[in-house]
């Protein structure tokens, strides 16, 4: 039974690794070559809180943290949060634990007001910068 769990964990780890590599490939290669634009900005004329996030993540991959912050003020906190979530997901896979979902729910339930305020501040910032 324990050997089966170890094989399943290795298979899950390989699948997650392949998924992450494909995601990074898609993000870095495809998204930077094709401009989708912001649907909210096309419809309303106002930028959304996430406007500039793709460019900001691209700058983070190039280690231009100041440029990423100037492009979208939520890029650094969001990238740190995503890195934490990926690490906790990998921890779950490697050690056969189930903390990813509980950690995510605890974080969102505890800090939802902070998240909403950050989104509003980002939206105001984007309106000022991009208008």
Instruction: Count CA atoms closer than 13 A to 24's CA, side-chain side.
Output: 9
Q: Using CA of residue 16, residue 54, residue 66, residue 62, what is the dihedral sign? A: positive
3-class SS of residue 38:
coil
Asked whether the beta carbons of 74 and 120 are under 8 A apart, the reply is no
Quick: pLDDT tens for 59-101: 998 999 999 999 999 999 988 888 887 787 778 777 777 777 7
Task: Please report which confidence band the pLDDT of residue 49 belongs to, taking 50, 70 and 90 as the band edges.
Answer: confident
In tens, the pLDDT along 30-46 reads: 666 666 667 778 788 88
| pTM of this structure | 0.65
């Amino acid at each position: 039974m324990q050997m089966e769990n170890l094989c399943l964990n290795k298979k899950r780890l390989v699948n997650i690794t392949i998924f992450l590599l494909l995601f990074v490939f898609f993000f870095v290669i495809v998204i930077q070559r094709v401009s989708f634009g912001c649907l909210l900005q096309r419809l309303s004329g106002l930028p959304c809180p996430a406007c500039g996030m793709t460019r900001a993540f691209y700058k983070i991959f190039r280690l231009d943290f100041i440029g990423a912050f100037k492009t979208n003020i939520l890029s650094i906190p969001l990238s740190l949060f995503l890195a934490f979530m990926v690490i906790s997901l990998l921890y779950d896979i490697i050690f056969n634990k189930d903390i990813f979902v509980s950690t995510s729910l605890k974080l969102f339930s505890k800090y939802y007001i902070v998240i909403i305020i950050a989104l509003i501040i980002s939206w105001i910032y984007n309106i000022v910068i991009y208008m």
